[in-house]
Amino acid sequence: LSRLLFSLLPSLIPLLLQCAPRIPEAGALLDLLGRCPEHQKKGSFPVVVFEGLDATGKTTLTQSVKDILNGVLLRSPPACISQWRTIFDEEPAPIKRAFYAAGNYILASEIAKASTQAPVIVDRYWHSTAAYTIATEINGQLQDLPPAQDEVYQWPEDLLKPDLVLLLTVDPEERVRRLQRRGLERTKEEAELEANSLFRQRVEESYRRMLNPSCQEVDASPCKEEVLQAVLQVIKKQFAW
């Protein structure tokens, strides 16, 4: 678990190389990784990441914040590899997580470039990869998770760091209602979140234990306008706007 989470590139590349003959997209992913600068540097504009479970309102909220701030909206996995998501989601857990972790490094290059021009709003980033990996690999109760302050919750040293991470949380019953209203085909993880409240709790608790940067929690249960105003207040305070 720890090797996947914080010794990233040294373990990612051999794993993707190993499965490239069977999965051509793994080779293409490695090619994209190879084009990324080794040390990404953020521009002068702020980078704000939105995290949270599905149906917490990230899609609508990130678009609204992007419009208000005249910013750039990026998502994880980044657009250049998102079409391969269904392929890797069917693979064993190590390969699947390697896809998402590699996507974070590709996304970091996009963030670095965009943040020289405008504020950058990001719909999921590294914390999602880490939280879902921890919750999947560690079975059992919340007390079975790695303890708070464990290095598994640390941001990778070689990955571009955002200025602010907002964790959107919603009452579990309300989140299920939103999922049902959407009527979309659920991913395996979405189905697991709905069916297994303990898995959902492990994901959210892992989010809360993230360090450097930690997540600032925002209650996304109220109406969209109210949540938007709460988020804008946090951003305004963070950047003294």
User: Is the pLDDT higher at 183 or at 167?
Assistant: 167
- Contacts from 83-89 at CB under 8 Å and sequence distance 24+? 84/25, 84/28, 84/29, 87/23, 87/25, 88/23, 88/25, 89/187, 89/188
Per-residue confidence (pLDDT) for residue 99, from 0 to 100: 94
Per-residue confidence (pLDDT) for residue 39, from 0 to 100: 77
Per-residue confidence (pLDDT) for residue 6, from 0 to 100: 46
Q: Kindly report, residue by residue over 43-78, the tens digit of the pLDDT.
A: 999 999 999 988 788 999 999 999 999 999 999 999
Secondary structure (3-state) at 85: helix
- 2-239, what's its fold? Rossmann fold (3.40.50)
pTM of whole model > 0.85?
yes
The radius of gyration computed from the CA coordinates of the chain, to the nearest angstrom, equals 17
Domain map (residue ranges) of the chain: 2-239
Of the chain, the percentage scoring pLDDT greater than 70 comes to: 87
Average pLDDT rounded to a whole number, residues 163-182: 81
Q: At 226, which helix (H) or strand (E)? A: helix 224-239
